[in-house]
Amino acid sequence: MAAETGKHKGRRRVIPLLTLILTLALSTLTSGCWNRRELNRIGIVSAVGLDLGPDHKIELTVQIIRARAMKMAEGASGEGKAVWVVSSSGDTVFDAVRNLVEKSGRRLYYPHNSLIVLGQELAREGVRPVMDLFARDQEMRLLAWVVVAQGTAADVLKADSELNNVPSKQLEDMLKNYNIVSKSVGSNLLEFDDSLLSKTTQPVLGRVVLDKVSGKNELRLDGAGVFRGDKLIGWLDSTETRGYLFIKDKVKSGSVLVPSPGNPDQAVTLEIIRAGSRVKPEWLGGKARFEIDVKVEANLVEQASAQKLSSPDMISVLEEELNQAIANQMRTTISAAQTHYKADIFGFGTDLMRAYPEEWQGLAGKWEAEFPLAETQVKVQSKITHTDLSQ
Amino acid sequence: MFNSGISSGPVSGDLADGLQANISALKNRFKNSADVIYREFTLGFASNPKAVLIYIDGMINQETTSGTILKPLMFDFDGRDSKRSAGPNGAGDMADVIANRALPNKRVQKAKSLKDVVDGILCGNTALLIDGSAVALVIETKGWESRNVDEPGTESIVRGPREGFTENIGVNSAMLRRKIKDENLRIESLELGRRTKTLVYLAYIDGVARREMVNEVKRRLNKIEIDGVLESGYIEQLIEDAPRSIFPTVGNTEKPDVVAAKLLEGRLAIFVDGTPFVLTVPHLFVEGFQSSEDYYSRPYYATTVRLVRYLAFVIAVLLPAGYVALQSYSQDLLPTPLLISMVASREGTPFPSYMEVLIMGVIFEIMREAGVRMPGAIGQAFSIVGALVLGEASARAGLVSNSMIVVVALTAISGFALTSLADVIGLLRLFFIACAAPLGLFGILMGGLTVLIHMFKLYSFGVPYLLPIAPGNLNDLKDVFIRAPLGSQVFPPRILGHRNLARTTSDRRPPGKD
C-alpha cells in the first residue's frame, strides 16, 4: 500500500517535468513564429533610390544583395553581379515597397539599408512625403546616408563598383570619408530629418554625379544640393561646399592650393591637418551679425616652384595666403546662400536663437527675410606646421 | 556503523566446536562457489588438532597465507604456552595463543559467529578454524591485483603532481595522508551496499571542516539503503541536495592534491573502494571553473586562464542559441558585412537554422560518444570520417552552412575546456537552443533568467550553490573570477571553514623593500 502511494507521488512529480520537456520540444519544432525570418528567405536591401515616376507616382529602386553570387565570389568563378537592382512604383513609398515583393518573391529586409538616394526631380518636388516612412518604420535605420542624385536615383544604383562587390558600399565609403576631401557633404537620415524639421536651418545633402567613362558609369561625390524646406533649389559646387563645411566645422582634411610666393603662376599645395570653427552671433539693434572664426593647421605637401619655402618668412607669407584662400571660399558660400538661394544652410538662425532667446521671439517668424541681410565677418587663423622633408 | 572494522550484524548462528560441523555450515553458505578454497591441515604442535584455512582464491595474497599462516602453524611454532592455557575453555584459548604468538599478520580478529567468518572471507581475509574451538580467527590477507598509481585520465595538467587515485581505497587514503600529515585528518570508515559491502571512507580535517557539516554528511551516508555501490556516483546521487537538478552539488576528482586542497578549505571527501573518483562536498558552482593548476602557476596567468574558462562556458552554452536567434530573428544586430557572408553561406541550405544547429549538435554528440567508447584500433578511421562528415563534406553537399560548422566547432572546443561541467553545458546548450528557436533573443533572456533562478535556489550541504557570487562576499571573490596571489588569500572561503584560521601569514612584500 505504501509503495502504491509512493508510486503515485512519483508519477505526479514526473508529469510537470514531462510537460516542460514537451512544451520546449514542440515549440521548438513546430513553431512558425510570427517574426522568424530565415536568412535564406529574405532579401537584404543595401540601398534605396527614390525617383519621381510618371503620373506623380513614386519609383522605388532597391539594390538587393544576391547571396548566390556572393557565394560564387567566395569560390573562384565570381560570375554574376553581387546585387540585383530592381524597381517598382506606387502611390506612396510603402505602396512601392510592397509592390516590390511582386517582383522579388522574398520579403525585403531593410535594417541593413545604408543608403538613400533621392532623384533630382523628386527632390525638386519636395521630399517630405517620401521621407516619412524612413523615419517612422522600425525596420529603417536612421544611420543610413542620404544623398541627392544629379540625375535619377535609379541610374546611381545601377552604376558599377570596381572595389566593392556591393556598389552601394562604395558610395557609402565615399560618404563616410567625405571630410577627408571636404568637397561634398555626407549626412545621414537622422541629420537630414533634423534639418528638415528645423524652422530655420535649411538642409544640405551631398550630390552624386554620374560620369560616363569609357562606357562605364562612374559615381562621384561632388558638391552639394541646397534645399529650402523640403525642396531642392540648387547646387553648391565643390569650392562652395568646402566653405560650407568650414563654417559648419566639418572639415577634417583636404587640400588647398595657394599661389607660390613670388611665382603666382605656380601653385603650392597645402594639406589641412586640423580645422576648427566657431560662429559667434551678435544682435546689434535689429541687425544680425555673425563672426566666424576658423583655425586651421596645415602641412606644405607639394610645390611646383623651386623656391625655398621652409623659412619662417615664407611660411608666414604662405599662412597669410592660406587665410585668404579659406576666407574667400567661405565668403563665396555665404554670398551664394544669402543672395542666390536665400536659405540659411549654416544654422545661423539656431545660433542666434541660442544666444538671444528673448530677441528671437520677435524674429522667429521672419528669419527667412532677415537672413539675407545679416552681416558676416570671416576670420581665419592658419598655421603651417610641417614642410616635410623637401627643402 | 562508524566504528572501524567490519560491521557486526545480527548474529546468525554461532560457531560450533567441531571442525566438520563448521566446515559444512560454511559450505552450506557458499553453495556452488568454486573459488572458495578450504585448505585442511594439521597443526604442528600441541595435540596436533585438525584445522582448516578458508579463503577466496584471487582475493588473498598467496604468499602471505602460505608464508605467515601455514608455515608457522605447520612447522615453526613450537606450541609454547599452549598447554598452560588449556584451561576450562581449552582450545578456545588456543586461538588466543596462536593469534598472539604464531601469526605475524597485521590484523587478526577473533570471530565467534558464522556471519563474521563469512564477512571476513568475503572481504578477502583468511579464516582459520581449529578443531575443538568455537572461535575462528579472521586473518587479514587481502591482496589482489590492482592498477598502479598512474596519471589520471580525466584531469590532465601541465604543472603539478601527476599521481592519481587508484581503485584501491587503502592506497587512496594513504595518498591523502601523505599530502596532509596532520593528526587532525580524520578518516572514518563505513560499509555501504547490502550485497557489495563496499568500504567507504569519509575524510575531513577536524577543526577546519565545520562540525555540523560533518554530522550532516554522516547522517546522509548512514541513510543510504542500497544493494550495491559500484562507483562513487551511486553515493553522489544518493546524498546530493538536488537530485533532479542538472547541476551537480557533489564534486568529484581523481587527484589527491585536489582532495587535499578541498579538505584544507574545510570540505569533506568521500572515498569509495573500487573507484579512483573521490567525492568532495560541499560542491559549489565556481569549483567547476577552478583547476588545481591555477594555484601552482603564478596569479596573472592563472587569472587570465580562469577568465578564459568563464568565456568558454558562455560560448559553449550560448553560442548555438545566440546564432539561431541572430540568424532567425535579430539580423539587424549583425554588422552588414558579417550578415552578408552569413547569408552567402546560408544560401541554398534546406533547413531552418535551429534545425541545422540541432542536426550538427546531434552529429557531434554521436561522434563524441563514439570516440569515447570505441576501441582504440579504429580511432584513425573514425577521426578521418568524422572530420570529413562534420567538416567540409556536409557544407559542400549543401546540407548545412559553413558558418554553422564554425559555430559547432567553436562550441565543441569551448565545451572541452571545462570537462567537469561538460554534462551541464550539454544540457544547458540544448535548453537554450529550445528557447531561442521559437522566441529568439527574448527566449534566451527568459531561459537565462529561469536557469539563474534555479541556481539561486540550490544548496550543497547547507551552502548556497552560487557562493560567493550570491550571496556575495568580497573576500571570497578573490578566488572566483580572478585568482589572487596566495598571500592575499589569507582566509579559507566563508561558511566552509572557520573564519579565524589564517591559511598563510607570509609577508608578501618584495624582499628589501621595507
Please report the DSSP string for B201-215 in residue order.
EEEEEBTTB-HHHHH
The 10s digit of each residue's pLDDT in A99-152 is: 998 888 888 889 999 999 999 999 999 999 999 999 888 888 889 999 999 999
Whether residue B359 sits in one domain with residue B237: no
Name which of A31-35, A330-334, B14-18, B359-363 the model is least confident about: A31-35
User: Residue A343 in contact with residue A202, Cβ under 8 Å?
Assistant: yes
The 10s digit of each residue's pLDDT in A310-347 is: 888 889 999 999 999 999 999 999 999 999 999 999 99
Q: Is residue B14 part of a domain?
A: no
Whether residue B279 sits in one domain with residue B200: yes
Report the phi/psi class of residue B293: left, alpha or beta, with left for phi > 0 and alpha for psi in -120 to 50. alpha
Distances A182 to A87, A179, A218, A239, A272 between C-alpha atoms, Å: 32, 4, 20, 9, 10
Whether residue B371 sits in one domain with residue B236: no
Q: Is residue B99 part of a domain?
A: yes
Among the partner-chain residues B344, B434, B440, the one whose CB lies closest to the CB of A28 is B434
Tell me, what's the pLDDT at A363? 84
Tell me, what's the pLDDT at B511? 59
User: How many domains does chain B contain in total?
Assistant: 3
Q: Which of chain A's residues have a Cβ under 8 Å away from the Cβ of B434?
A: 24-25, 27-28
Q: Which residue has the higher pLDDT, A200 or B272?
A: B272
Whether residue B175 sits in one domain with residue B67: no
Whether residue B105 sits in one domain with residue B65: yes
Under the banding of pLDDT at 50, 70 and 90, the label for residue B359 is confident
Under the banding of pLDDT at 50, 70 and 90, the label for residue A11 is low
- Residue span(s) of chain A under CATH 3.30.300.210 come to 238-391
Q: Is residue B6 part of a domain?
A: no
Whether residue B240 sits in one domain with residue B325: no
Tell me, what's the pLDDT at A28? 67
Among the partner-chain residues B328, B347, B437, the one whose CB lies closest to the CB of A37 is B328
Under the banding of pLDDT at 50, 70 and 90, the label for residue A10 is low
B170 shares contact with chain A (CB less than 8 Å): no
Asked if the model's pLDDT at residue B227 lies above 70, the reply is yes
Asked if the model's pLDDT at residue B407 lies above 50, the reply is yes
Alpha-carbon torsion (B455, B456, B458, B459), positive or negative:
positive
Between CA A308 and CA A239 the distance in angstroms is 29
* Amino acid identity at B63: E
CB contact under 8 A, B347 and A71: yes
B84: phi then psi, degrees, rounded to nearest 5: -60, -35
- Measure the N-to-C terminal CA separation of chain B; round to a whole number of Å: 56
Under the banding of pLDDT at 50, 70 and 90, the label for residue A303 is confident
Whether residue B267 sits in one domain with residue B193: yes
* CB proximity list for A327: less than 8 A, separation 6 or greater: A294, A378, A379, A380
* Amino acid identity at B464: P
Whether residue B325 sits in one domain with residue B450: yes
Tell me, what's the pLDDT at B403? 85
Question: How many CB pairs below 8 Å do chains A and B form together?
Answer: 80
Count of residues for chain A?
391
* CB proximity list for A354: less than 8 A, separation 6 or greater: A281
CATH number of the domain at A238-391, out of 3.30.300.210, 3.40.50.460, 3.40.50.300, 3.30.360.10?
Answer: 3.30.300.210
The 10s digit of each residue's pLDDT in B178-209 is: 999 999 999 999 999 999 999 999 999 998 88
- Read off the pLDDT of each residue in B80-85 and give the average, rounded to a whole number: 56
Report the gap between the CA of A38 and the closest CA in chain B (Å): 5
Between CA B253 and CA B269 the distance in angstroms is 10
Tell me, what's the pLDDT at A245? 93
Q: Is residue B145 part of a domain?
A: no
CB contact under 8 A, B344 and A70: yes
The 10s digit of each residue's pLDDT in B281-337 is: 999 999 999 999 998 998 899 999 999 999 999 999 999 999 999 988 888 888 888
A40 shares contact with chain B (CB less than 8 Å): yes
* Last residue in a domain, options B411, B433, B460: B460
Q: Is residue B439 part of a domain?
A: yes
Asked if the model's pLDDT at residue B118 lies above 80, the reply is yes
CB contact under 8 A, A65 and B343: yes
Q: Which of chain A's residues have a Cβ under 8 Å away from the Cβ of B437?
A: 27-28, 31
Report the gap between the CA of A24 and the closest CA in chain B (Å): 6
Whether residue B215 sits in one domain with residue B70: no
Whether residue B120 sits in one domain with residue B46: yes
CB contact under 8 A, A39 and B437: no
By C-alpha distance, the chain B residue nearest A44 is B340
Between CA B497 and CA B265 the distance in angstroms is 6
- Read off the pLDDT of each residue in B427-436 and give the average, rounded to a whole number: 92
Between CA B467 and CA B461 the distance in angstroms is 12
- Measure the N-to-C terminal CA separation of chain A; round to a whole number of Å: 108
Angle at A377 between CA A373 and CA A380, to 5 degrees: 150
Q: How far is CA A138 from the centre of its chain?
A: 20
Q: Which domain holds residue B380?
A: 306-460
Q: ipTM for the complex? A: 0.77
Tell me, what's the pLDDT at B319? 95
Asked if the model's pLDDT at residue A73 lies above 60, the reply is no
Between CA A14 and CA A83 the distance in angstroms is 55
Whether residue B208 sits in one domain with residue B312: no
Tell me, what's the pLDDT at A235? 95
Residue among B310, B309, B316, B312 nearest B430 (CA) = B316
